[in-house]
Chain A
Amino acid sequence: MATEARDRIAARDRVEARRRQVDAPSTLRDDSDDEMIVSFPEFVFKEFIAMVAMTVFLVLVSIFLQAPLLGQANPGVTPNPSKAPWYFLGLQELLSRFPPLMAGVAFPTFVIVLMILVPFLDRNPSRRPSERKVAIILFALYMAIVVALVIIGTFFRGHEFIWNWSWVLGNPQTCGGKSC
């Protein structure tokens, strides 16, 4: 009987202590990374700053950098080289090296399925970088290959999609012998 009463008092004290913690004035906060804070306005303010920075960046870039607009589309005249948008240039680069069924279909499908399955294939429960070296190295390798292929496709593929050491920009060089 006495134990039960003591338990009840202890439980009430715990609730009281927790409530006091929540009501604690800001001067008593620990200010550490572990501290619980109200997401509004601090978190919301951070997001707001990021949005403003992005908007300013976009407006400035858009004032000084014109989006490309070549001559009107002409199905009869093929630009040389013909390139996909830059984020698909890695695929186009693969397509120029491997059989189309492999590079254009099997490979991208495999990568997408593999990516969705990553959380189930990675059996390591740790999230610390030092404890998941294999995963991080494999991912870095994957990213490096993607970035390298995109850079090669964008800058080192010129006329006829042939290797060109000078930095070729993404826009087609010629359309039927003339500029596009």
Chain B
Amino acid sequence: MKVIRGAVDEMWSVMEQMVGSIFRHGLPLTDKIAARTALTNFVLHIHPVRVRRSWIRMSYTLCLGGLSFFLFIVLTVTGLYLMFYYVPSINHAYQDMRDLQFVVTFGGLIRNMHRWAAHAMVITVWLHMARVFLTGSYKKPREFNWGVGTLLLLITLLLSFTGYLLPWDQLSIWAVTVGTNMAKYAPIAGPYTRYLMLGGHAVGDATLLRFYVMHVVGLPLIGFLLMVVHFWRVRKDGFSGGL
């Protein structure tokens, strides 16, 4: 009996050590424990440990920056799922989209989520910019972070635009034809820029591959790095807070 009891006790303490090695401070029952948790937890470290209540009022931030970041994560996760079934070649792309919609388990739902989340992200990023402008939060010392934010808005638009071609249906090929035709009009660099984007003179196989690579690797990587800088600067420059 004593042996069993000893063994159970030992196992219990091992369990406690396991949990304690991940979550060091237990439940945040007092401010002190909560502060220590926020200070030492990797996921929580993008937040300041202490904030003024006016900084995080939902009627002030509307949570728009956070929601934009969350939508980026949703898009990454749903996008990974779509990548399992999608081949960026004009012989496969459209059929893969049909399969995603009608054959693949949850394919239609995930594709819809990816599509609507992309539209939602364009909207939340725009509104986040509007909120930051209207509260004057771009003013000293946050001038630089406003610039980074502008670039993030551009990246969001480009991500959305590159993704638009991938279904390879009549909507996407002609939307991208119209979009890339705009680049043509730039003086001197215009035609070259368009050739660089399309990988040829018209939207084709090379374009699909280029847009795909930029959509799933290039732009998300640039966007992620800019986001890291953006969030870091929010911490260092401080929340703008109430008016």
Contact = CB atoms under 8 A, between A and B. Distances in A.
Contact of B171 (A34, A37, A95, A180): A180
A72 B146 contact: no
Contacts of B137: 127
B70 interface: yes
A11 interface: no
8 A-B pairs with the lowest CB-CB distances in the bound complex, closest first: A127-B136, A62-B112, A119-B143, A73-B173, A67-B115, A104-B182, A100-B185, A40-B38
Interface string A71-114: 11111011100111111100110010000110011000000100
- B contacts with A: majority SS: helix
Contacts of B147: 116, 119
Interface residues on A, range: 35 or more
A82 B203 CA distance: 14
A92 B49 CA distance: 46
B62 to A, nearest CB: 9
B52 interface: yes
B170 A73 contact: yes
Interface residues on B, range: 35 or more
Contacts of B88: none
Given A73-B94, A73-B170, A95-B182, A46 B53 contact: no
Contacts of A51: 66-67, 70
A66 interface: yes
Contacts of B242: 33
A122 B51 contact: no
A129 to B, nearest CB: 7
Interface string B127-151: 0001001111111101100110010
Contacts, number: 222
Contacts of B38: 38-40
Given A26-B31, A37-B50, A119-B138, A77 B243 contact: no
A142 to B, nearest CB: 9
Contacts of B89: none
A139 B175 contact: no
B35 interface: yes
A153 B177 CA distance: 17
A120 interface: yes
A50 B67 contact: yes
B161 A88 contact: yes
Contacts of A132: 136
A22 B82 CA distance: 50
A86 B66 CA distance: 24
11 contacts: A36-B51, A39-B38, A40-B44, A40-B47, A41-B34, A51-B67, A67-B112, A74-B173, A105-B187, A128-B136, A180-B171
Contacts of B174: 78-79, 82-83, 172
Interface string B68-105: 00110010000000000000001000100110010000
B69 to A, nearest CB: 10
A5 interface: no
Contacts of A35: 52-53
B8 interface: no
B51 A136 contact: no
